[in-house]
């Protein structure tokens, strides 16, 4: 028995989240169904990162086990079976048959997209925010985030996390033509954390808040002080990284 991993991308607006929830349409259910159909046996996958309803992914991984090696057209055939809202980018074989795509990931990167002028072609792909904001404050709060490791204020209630500690490697805002993007990269993220970081920064920057206000929210370790009220469809899981040598790409 060998362990394999699929690198997939998907349109989160077509699903009720990524993690399997019985017969509710989710990314994991679509992948399990397609694999089981193609291989003519029941296949269960395990995901690297859970994304909420509406959240997109350019890179998420799902591992699964097979007795026989997949044929050379495996990715092509799997993409033919999957719905148009999901695509397989790459297929890997794990060097260690006990490889776990969730627990062995060392880095994850998210991007949140915001636009400011009404545009029907950006709807469902970014947050519409037609309000004035303080860009300098956004830059300042993004830098502040890297100073902390305790993020309980940005974890939704009932997140079932054993620890609220995260190491943030990158945190910054970036202009893209008519959009503003927030990029954050860390070793792990809590449930709702990225949306909480974005929503809280944006609220303070739009309502004459200060960097001191943001620090107070972080240090309070109280999720009722953060703002999670930004849409999931502006959020993209952009990259998941693993130590070298754990996965071998099958081409």
User: How buried is residue 237: exposed, middle or buried, by Cβ count under 10 Å (0-12/13-18/19+)?
Assistant: buried
CA distance 52 to 191: 9
- Residue 236 contacts residue 111 (beta carbons within 8 Å): yes
CA distance 93 to 247: 6
Q: In the annotation, is 244 catalytic?
A: no
CA distance 25 to 11: 13
Q: Can you tell me whether residue 111 is helix, strand or coil?
A: strand
* Ramachandran sector of residue 22 (left: φ over 0; alpha: ψ -120 to 50; beta: rest): left
Per annotation, catalytic residue among 11, 52, 178, 213: 52
User: Which residues are identified as catalytic?
Assistant: 52
């Amino acid at each position: 028995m060998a362990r394999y991993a699929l690198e997939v991308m998907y349109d989160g607006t077509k699903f009720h989240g990524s993690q399997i929830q019985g017969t509710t349409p989710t990314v994991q259910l679509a992948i399990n169904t397609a694999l089981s159909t193609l291989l003519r046996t029941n296949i269960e996958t395990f995901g690297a990162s859970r994304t909420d309803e509406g959240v997109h992914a350019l890179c998420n991984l799902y591992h699964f086990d097979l007795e026989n090696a997949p044929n050379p057209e495996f990715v092509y055939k799997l993409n033919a079976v999957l719905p148009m809202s999901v695509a397989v980018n790459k297929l890997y074989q794990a060097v260690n048959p006990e490889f776990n795509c969730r627990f062995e990931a060392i880095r994850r990167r998210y991007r949140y997209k915001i636009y400011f002028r009404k545009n029907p072609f950006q709807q469902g792909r970014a947050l519409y925010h037609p309000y004035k904001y303080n860009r300098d404050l956004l830059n300042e709060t993004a830098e502040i985030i890297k100073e902390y490791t305790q993020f309980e204020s940005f974890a939704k209630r009932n997140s079932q996390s054993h620890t609220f500690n995260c190491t943030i490697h990158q945190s910054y805002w970036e202009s893209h033509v008519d959009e503003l993007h927030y990029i954050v990269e860390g070793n792990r993220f809590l449930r709702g954390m990225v949306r909480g970081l974005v929503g809280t920064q944006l609220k303070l920057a739009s309502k004459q808040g200060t960097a001191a206000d943001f620090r107070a929210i972080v240090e309070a370790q109280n999720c009722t002080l953060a703002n999670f009220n930004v849409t999931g469809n502006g959020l993209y899981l952009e990259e998941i990284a693993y130590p070298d040598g754990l996965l071998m790409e099958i081409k």
